Chain A
Amino acid sequence: MIYLFQILNGIGLGMLYFLLAVGLSVIFGLLQFVNFAHGAFYLLGAYLTFDLTQRGFSFWAAMPMATLIVAGIAAAIEALLLHRIYKLPHTFHILVTVGLALVIQELVIIAWGPLGGSVPAPEGLQGVVIAGDFIYPQYRLFTIGFTAVLAGLLWWLLEGTRLGAIVRGGSESPSNMALLGYNTMRINTAVFGFGAGLAGLAGALAAPIRGVEPFMGVEALSVAFVVVVIGGMGSYTGALVAGLLVGIVQSVMTTVWPEGARLMIYLGMALVIATMPRGLLGRA
């Protein structure tokens, strides 16, 4: 029975990991850009939610506000700085975005101090659901449902709309899109802002579960990369499958071999790299 509970708990974890990773996957898939500042945008989303709720905004107002602010900041950074290095090798992407992540982290410490904080779950979602011996927080159930709906919307947006077709066209053949009269630089800026905004949203959603502290972005980045590498760089479905897989493995391992729960995630990633270099669902 405990394993069933751990699988259910792992699904909850996995949906959060998916949301964390999908923005990174979108940015890499469409822009071929390695964004090591992704965890910092997650951090920023969490802290903005913390700050806005401290100022009296409800969580329901703070969550979209934080997401939009992070997306706006990221779009501005892309337009001012990052678009200049797209054509350079990935090592330059890593150098610049790691530096950017450190700057954001230190700015968070300056703005909110080195101590962390707690964000209460919204009214109506502060209780727990009890099913036999299984207890699960209502807010975590909400995040599963919310992320599932969001996953569907994202898929529809990227695969089923004209806007999605323009974005994909901008990534695959920027010159043709330019000939058709589209401003590919603006498309790239919008895609980067969108991907970072998803990280901000993940931070906002995670804040009532994890609280906030200045170094939470580092852990989030490592989980996001594991999910993206296992799922396949740039694969939307891969991020969903890998997110769930990582969440379930981590959760079940806390019962089977607790001290190795985290290790198993990285071993899994190493195994996928060795046997399927493009990930489970990565594009050739």
Chain B
Amino acid sequence: MLNRRSFLTTSSLAAISLATPGLLGRASAQGAALKIGVPVPISGAFAANGKFATIGAQMAAEEVAKAHGIEVSTLDLDTEGKPATAVRKVQDALAQDGIKLFAGGILSSESLAMGKEIERGGGSFMTTAGADEITGPDCNKATFRWSVPTFGAIDQTVRPIIDALPEAKRWYTITPQYVFGDGLLNAAKAVFAEKGIEHVGNSYHSLTDKEFSGYLTNAISAQPDVLLLLNFGAQSSDTLRQAVSFGLKQRMTIVVAWASGLEQFEALGPDICEGVYFGAQYWHGADTPLNRELVARVQEKHGFNPNYSFAGSYIISKLLLDAAAKAGSAEGSAVIGQLEGLKYTGLTGEEEIRAADHQVIKDYYLLKGKAKDAMAGKDDYVDIISSGKSFLSAEQSGCKMTA
């Protein structure tokens, strides 16, 4: 049986043999009835997320092809995690490949930029990126978002932890300085104010930082009860790893508000994850019908458990492709019409696409790292502490959808 690493090794080898990962998609896209672009970072700091996302989209394409009896193909578009590159790749896919369906955009900045471009090009786009603006003030007719935005992520992590740890009154935050980080920070400050929590300090850092010891020294000197990490991906792993090496786990509670789930836990290992709280969009152990099916299928096909990057990409690709298949067209207006107001059984349970702002209403999870000897299997890193739906109303989100 293949494990996750060997699977990715094989797929990387195949991709390299074709010069770029995108060529594989282009090769298979010839003569397809439905094509979906997968604009995700396949190189750069967020490449691990992007590579799982392309496999998840591929699996969705295969399932939709089988269910509807049509040809479906994916086209991987390496955004490199850069908005300008993402926009250029999407423009090329719209103009040269005739693609109208796009599922991807792991970073908020690239998703915001691509959404506008895809709307101009008459397509439709679903993303897993987190910034409130995507379905808020910067919403548009073509863009849908599956992930719970920053408001809900904070509400479902910070609030239950404050309730569970009433003595922990002093919180310190470490925040990446871009739209996503500011979204999380503003939401956290609002909950702190409401709950009477003292926000004893915040350290902003750039998107390229890898060394967090200076920020951790700031945090230590502020003597908080809780250290809230508001960064994402490799940066949150680096911060957490370095925080644990500074012995902060023994001195304060550590919370990662937006973890990328299984792939992050695998990279960190159980010793670092133990006792840390993680907010997560998806967990393969969630007990819902579609998730149980997906886990079984991914185990059967790939020999590993789906992680957030895989599952998020799978579900957004599937929603778009199913909508296009039902509409009989990949044109934006037809797909949008199918998706608005759609209620369906999703990976987190009952999910709904709110027509007013194109936000999917779904659960967000609060997880807590287990001790290594308490793990039932190699992927059993965490317990689900709680889950729930927290969203601003469509009016509060600031979305003014134009037809």
A-side interface residues toward B, CB under 8 Å?
A: 1-2, 5-6, 9-10, 12-13, 106, 109-118, 120-121, 127-128, 130, 133-137, 139-140, 208-211, 213-216, 219, 250-255, 258-259, 261-263
Contacts and interface: CB of A to CB of B under 8 A. Distances in A.
Given A109-B12, A110-B16, A116-B237, A5 B217 contact: yes
B47 A215 contact: yes
A262 B241 contact: no
Interface string B221-261: 10100000000001001100110011110010000000000
Interface residues of B, number: 46
B268 A6 contact: no
B9 A111 contact: yes
Contacts of B214: 6, 9-10, 13, 250-255, 258, 261
Nearest to A251: B214
A111 B251 CA distance: 38
Contact of A13 (B9, B177, B213, B247): B213
A184 to B, nearest CB: 37
B48 A110 contact: no
A255 B218 CA distance: 6
- Most interface-central of A106, A115, A253 (chain B CB within 10 A): A115
Contacts of B223: 133
Nearest to B247: A128
Contacts of B234: 116, 213, 215
A121 B44 CA distance: 27
Q: Across chains A and B, which 4 residue pairs bring their CB atoms closest together, nearest first?
A: A254-B214, A128-B247, A113-B5, A114-B48
- Most interface-central of A1, A13, A111, A137 (chain B CB within 10 A): A137
Given A211-B241, A213-B234, A219-B210, A254 B47 contact: no
Given A110-B12, A213-B234, A9 B245 contact: no
Given A211-B268, A219-B208, 8 more contacts: A2-B221, A114-B51, A116-B267, A135-B247, A210-B211, A211-B238, A219-B210, A262-B208
Contact of B246 (A135, A254, A261, A262): A135
Contacts of A130: 247
- Most interface-central of A110, A113, A251 (chain B CB within 10 A): A113
A120 B271 contact: yes
B218 A254 contact: yes
A118 B210 contact: no
Nearest to B262: A115
B205 interface: yes
Given A9-B213, A12-B213, A117-B267, A137 B205 contact: no
Contacts of B373: none
A259 B178 CA distance: 11
Given A109-B12, A116-B237, A118-B272, A133 B206 contact: no
Contacts of B221: 1-2, 5, 133
A128 B216 CA distance: 14
B269 A216 contact: no
A91 B234 CA distance: 32
B355 interface: no
Contact of B210 (A5, A210, A258): A210
B215 interface: yes
B391 interface: no
Contacts of B177: 259
Nearest to A112: B5
Contacts of A137: 245-247
B215 A254 contact: yes
Interface in B345-395: none
Given A211-B267, A215-B44, A133 B220 contact: yes
B209 interface: yes
Contact of B8 (A1, A114, A117, A261): A114
Nearest to B8: A113
A114 B215 contact: no
A262 B48 contact: no
A139 B245 contact: yes
